[in-house]
Amino acid sequence: EENLITTQIEPYDNFAEIFHNIIRINNIFLDLDMDLWTYISMDYLKQKVKEDEIGSSAMPQKVNPIDFENSEGNIGVANSLLNYFCNKLAISRLQRDLSDSTVIRNIGVAFAHSIIAYQSTLKGLEKIEVNKGKISQDLKDYPEIISEGIQTILRREGIEGAYEKMKELTRGKKIGKDDIKKFIKNLNVAEEVKKELLELAPENYIGLAKKICDIKL
């Protein structure tokens, strides 16, 4: 769009808008990179081994999430430059300062680091797979995660102190499925409610996650 009225130099408001949009996109990738890195470190995701890659110069057994780390580093560089461009180009000394000329020569550098980051994330995504065994085992080891669902149903039924009861049973304690079943069976609620509670399990307590994903996808 043509800018009919300007100061002595062309204002860079449109540039700043573009740069901020790219920063927001970059932060989506950054958030994904960090989450995937964490899931890999927790062994929830496994990386496919490539024979020609070296995970560590000292520890030959390592399979590092190098693609996500590479993406994270490039996004850091890109966002630093883009933030500087937004702040720098919005200011011009007496509307005639030419220091912007050397700055805008580096716009391509920020874009390049962003593109490298995107490519690295996509490359990393092709090399991971879900470790169903590890996730399944963690769900079995921590049955107390369904306490949220239990207290929610109890509050729906008007049970006084439902949250506090579950807090007393589970907080800071290692409990098993049998402890939860015993708690449910001793509740003063209708049998159909007990049946509903007993059907709750870490494996199936996913709320509306599937429905939300189906809507989004």
Q: Where are the domains of the chain?
A: 13-131, 142-216
Q: How far apart are CA 80 and CA 103, in angstroms?
A: 13
CA–CA gap between residue 215 and residue 14 (Å, rounded): 34
Mean pLDDT for the chain overall: 90
157-202 pLDDT, tens digit per residue, is 999 999 999 999 999 989 999 999 999 999 989 999 999 999 999 9
Confidence of residue 48 (pLDDT cuts 50, 70, 90): confident
64-102 pLDDT, tens digit per residue, is 899 999 999 999 999 999 999 999 998 888 777 788 889
Give the homologous superfamily in CATH for domain 142-216: Fumarase/aspartase (C-terminal domain) (1.10.40.30)
Tell me the C-alpha distance between 33 and 202, whole Å: 26
Rounded distance, CA 117 to CA 38, Å? 18
Q: Per CATH, the architecture of 13-131 is what?
A: Up-down Bundle (1.20)
Per-residue confidence band for 5, with pLDDT thresholds at 50, 70 and 90: confident
Kindly list the distances between the CA atom of residue 59 and the CA atoms of 37, 52, 62, 76, 104, in Å, as whole numbers in the listed order: 19, 15, 6, 27, 43
- Specify whether the CB–CB gap between 53 and 113 falls below 8 A: no
pTM of the model as a whole: 0.81
| 46 or 10, higher pLDDT | 46
